Amino acid sequence: MARKKKFELNDNNLAIAYYRFSSHSQNEASIDQQRELAHAWADAHGFKIVKEYEDAAISGTTENRPGFQQMLSEVAKIRPRVLIMWKTDRLGRDKYVLAMAKRTIRDAGCEIRLLAENIPTDGPEGVLIEGLMDAMAEYYSRQLSQNIQRGMDYNAQHALYNGHKLFGYGVDKSTKRYIVDPDTAPFVQRMFAEYAGGKAMQTICDELNAQGLRTTRGAKFGVKTMNKMLQNRAYIGEYRHGDIVVEGGMPVLVDEETFEKVQRKFAENKRKGSQRARGMDENDAPRYWLTGKVYCGKCGNTLQGVSGTSGTGRTYYYYYCSAQRRKQCTLKKVRKEKLEDAVTMILRSILHDSENLMSLAVDAAAYYEKNYRDTGYLDGLEAKRREVEKSLANLVKVIESGLISETVTERLVQLEEQKRALNEAIEAENIRAALCEDEHTIKAYFEKFLHADFDNPETRDQVLEYFVDKIYLTDDGLVVTSWYSEDRTEVTWDMLYGEDGNPFVKGEAVKFDCFPFGSTI
C-alpha cells in the first residue's frame, strides 16, 4: 500500500487570517485583539497578511458563517503559505466542521498557525495534540451550552428574566423579576382596549409611532409586531419560556376579559379578511356578527356565514353548520337576516329587565374607568414628551456649537413632529378626562342601554358579549345560554314569527359560491 503523501506547502510569504467571536460576554474588541496579535506574529516571522476574514457574534458550532465560508472558497485561489488564528476553536467547535475545514485549507498548501496554542507541526505527537485540541473545543462548546440551558431553565421555573425584553415591563436588578414599566405599560393597556373596541391595528401602530414610541428593539411599531403583542399571554400574568409555563409569573397589565375580547376580534377580522380576499368589497360584504356565538343544536359545531346566488342573479346570505361541509350534519341553512333578527329580539327582551340593565350599566362604566381613565396613559404620554424635549434641547446645543448637517436637520424635524403629535394626544386625553364625569357615568350608560340602538354594531355587540354565552340553533327554534344565569332559555320559531315563520332555506335553487374559509360544500 502506498503511503499517503503529506500536503505540500506553498512556497511564498503570503498569509491569511481568520478572526471570530461569539459569546455575549465578548465584544468587537475581541476581533481587534485577535487582529493585533496576528499582525504582530506575521511581522515577526516575515509574512504578509493579504486577506483577513472575520465573523462577529456567530457561534463556532455552525458552519454557516459568511467569513468562514468565504475563506474556504478563496484559500485555493490565494494559495497562502499560512493561515493565522488565535486558537483552534476560532475555526469551529464541531469536530466534523473542523476536520472538513482543515482538510480544505491544507489541500490548498496552507498550514495553520495558532497564536495561543502550541501544537507541533512535525512528528506524530502533533497529530495527537491537534486531535485533543479539536475534541476539547467541541467538549467546551457542549458543556457551555448545557450549563447555559440549565441556568435558563432555572430562571424560567422561577419566572426570572431570561434576556427577553417585553414592551410594558422592566426588570428589577436585585430580584431579576419582571416589573411594570410605568412609562410604557399604559400604552400596552391602551392598545388592547382600543383594538378590542374596534380600532384598526394599523391605526394604533401609526398613532404610537407618531407619538415617538418604539419597540424593545428600537424599531417602529408594525402590524406584525402588534399582532404578536396582542396575543402574548404574558400581559395577563403568564410567564412562558419554551415548554415552561408559570401562571402568575408576570405582573398583570391586561385583564382576562379584555384579552379574550381581543382574541375574538382577531377571529372576526380574519373572517372579514377572508371575504375581502374572495373579491368582496368591505362595505358590501355582510357581517356575520353571530359567528362565534351561535352553534348547531344537532351536532354542536359552529355556524358560519355563507352566501349564494339564485338563477336570477340575486345574492342571498345564510348561516350554516360547519359540519355540513363534510356532509356530517343535516341541519338546514338558515337565512342570515331572520336568525340575526331573532337574536336581536331576544337581546331587546333581556334589556327589558331593569336588573339586567343596571348590571350592564355598572360594569360598562367601570370598564371605561379602568381602561380609559385610570391606566396612567396620560402620564406615559407626558413622560414621552419630556424625553423628546430633552432630545430636542441636546440637539439645539449641537446646532449652536456649529455642528450642523443633513442628518442633524432630519433628526430635528423628526423630534419636532413627535412633540407635535404628543401635544395633540395629551390635549385630547385631557379633554376626554374632563368629559368623563359628565358622559361616562353609570346614569349615562343606563340610559344608553335603556334606549339601545341595535342598528349600532358596537352597542349590539356589547349587549351580546355581556349577556350571551352560546346560542344553539335547532329545527324548532333557538336555545340561549346566558352568562348571568344557569337557565337555558328556549325560544321557538312560533314564538318569534308565528306559524310557518321558521327561517330555514326551503329548497330554492341557490348556488352557494362564497364561503368564509374559501371552501365549498
The pLDDT of residue 520 is: 32
Looking at the DSSP assignment, which residues form a beta bridge with residue 302?
A: 295
Which residue did the predictor score with more confidence, 514 or 138? Answer: 138
Range of lowest pLDDT (1-10, 200-209, 263-272): 1-10
Residue 30 is predicted with a pLDDT of: 78
Q: What is the pLDDT of residue 297?
A: 87
Which H/E stretch holds residue 410? helix 406-439
The pLDDT score that the predictor gives to residue 503 is 60
The predicted structure's pLDDT at residue 110: 93
Who wins on pLDDT, 360 or 274? 360
Sequence-ordered alpha helix ranges (H) in 22-170: 28-44, 66-78, 95-107, 124-157
Question: Is residue 83 over pLDDT 90?
Answer: yes
Amino acid present at 195: Y
pLDDT digits (tens, 9 = 90+) for 395-436: 888 787 777 777 777 888 878 887 887 887 777 667 666 555
Structural domain spans, the chain? 14-144, 177-183+193-262, 283-352+461-514, 354-451
Question: Residue holding cell 497562502?
Answer: 80
User: What pLDDT, on a 0 to 100 scale, did the predictor assign at position 139?
Assistant: 56
User: Residue 274 above 60 pLDDT?
Assistant: no
Question: What strands, in cross-sheet order, belong to the sheet with 510-514?
Answer: 334-335, 315-321, 303-310, 510-514
81-96 average pLDDT score: 84
176: pLDDT strictly greater than 80: yes
CATH H-level, domain 177-183+193-262: superfamily: Putative Large Serine Recombinase; Chain B, Domain 2 (3.90.1750.20)
What is the average pLDDT across 299-317? 80
Is the pLDDT confidence value at 142 over 80?
Answer: no
488: pLDDT confidence band, cut at 50, 70 and 90?
low
* Position 51 confidence tier, pLDDT thresholds 50, 70, 90: very high
pLDDT at 285: 52
Residue 466 has what pLDDT?
A: 75
Give 252-261 contacts, CB < 8 A, sequence gap 24+. 253/168, 253/180, 253/185, 253/188, 253/189, 254/188, 254/189, 254/192, 255/370, 258/192, 258/193, 258/196, 258/371, 259/192, 259/233, 259/235, 261/196, 261/465
Among 90-99, 131-140, 217-226, 317-326, the range scoring the smallest mean pLDDT is 131-140
Residues 459/453, Cβ–Cβ less than 8 Å: yes
Quote the pLDDT of residue 143. 59
Which residues are registered as beta bridge partners of 15?
Answer: 49, 82
At 494, is the pLDDT very low, low, confident or very high (cuts 50, 70, 90)?
low
Question: Is 90 exceeded by the pLDDT of residue 149?
Answer: no
Give me the mean pLDDT over the 448-470 stretch. 79
C-alpha to C-alpha distance for 417 and 272, rounded to whole angstroms: 34
Q: Is the pLDDT of residue 52 over 90?
A: yes
**CATH fourth-level superfamily of 14-144:** Resolvase, N-terminal catalytic domain (3.40.50.1390)
Of the given ranges (129-133, 428-432, 439-443, 511-515), which has the lowest mean pLDDT?
511-515
Q: What number is the average pLDDT over the span 118-139?
A: 55
| Average pLDDT of the segment spanning 106-117 | 88
Give the distance between the most distant pair of CA atoms in the chain: 106
Q: Which residues pair with 126 in a beta bridge?
A: none
What are the pLDDT digits (tens) for 179-232?
A: 998 888 888 988 898 888 778 888 888 888 877 788 888 888 988 889 899 999
pLDDT at residue 126 is higher than 70: no
Average pLDDT, the chain: 77
Residue 92 has pLDDT above 50, yes or no: yes
Mean pLDDT of 298-315: 80
Confidence of residue 499 (pLDDT cuts 50, 70, 90): low
Instruction: Give every CB contact of residue 501 below 8 A, 6+ residues apart in sequence.
Output: 493, 494
- Scan for cell 335553487, then name that residue: 509
Quickly tell me which residue has 499582525 as its cell. Answer: 39
Residue 131 has pLDDT above 60, yes or no: no
The per-residue pLDDT for 361 is 75
Per-residue pLDDT at 443 exceeds 80: no
